[in-house]
Amino acid sequence: MIIVSGTLRLSPGDLASVRVAAAAVVTATRAEAGCITYSFAEDLLEAGLVRIYEEWESREALAAHGRSGHVAAWHRALATVSVLGRNLQVIEAGKAEPLG
Domain extent listing, the chain: 2-92
Question: Tell me, what's the pLDDT at 78?
Answer: 96
pLDDT band at 55 (very low <50, low <70, confident <90, very high): very high
**Does the pLDDT value for residue 57 go beyond 90?**
yes
With beta carbons less than 8 A apart as the criterion, state whether 94 and 22 touch: no
The burial class, CB within 10 Å (0-12 / 13-18 / 19+), for 71 is middle
Share of the chain above pLDDT 90, in %: 88
Q: What is the mean pLDDT of the chain?
A: 95
Amino acid at 38: Y
Q: How far apart are CA 12 and CA 45, in angstroms?
A: 12
CATH of 2-92 given 3.40.640.10, 3.20.20.70, 3.40.50.620, 3.30.70.100: 3.30.70.100
pTM for the whole structure:
0.91
Supply the angle between the helices 19-30 and 69-78 in degrees, to the nearest 10: 160
Q: Quick check: helix, strand or coil at residue 8?
A: strand
Share of the chain above pLDDT 70, in %: 100
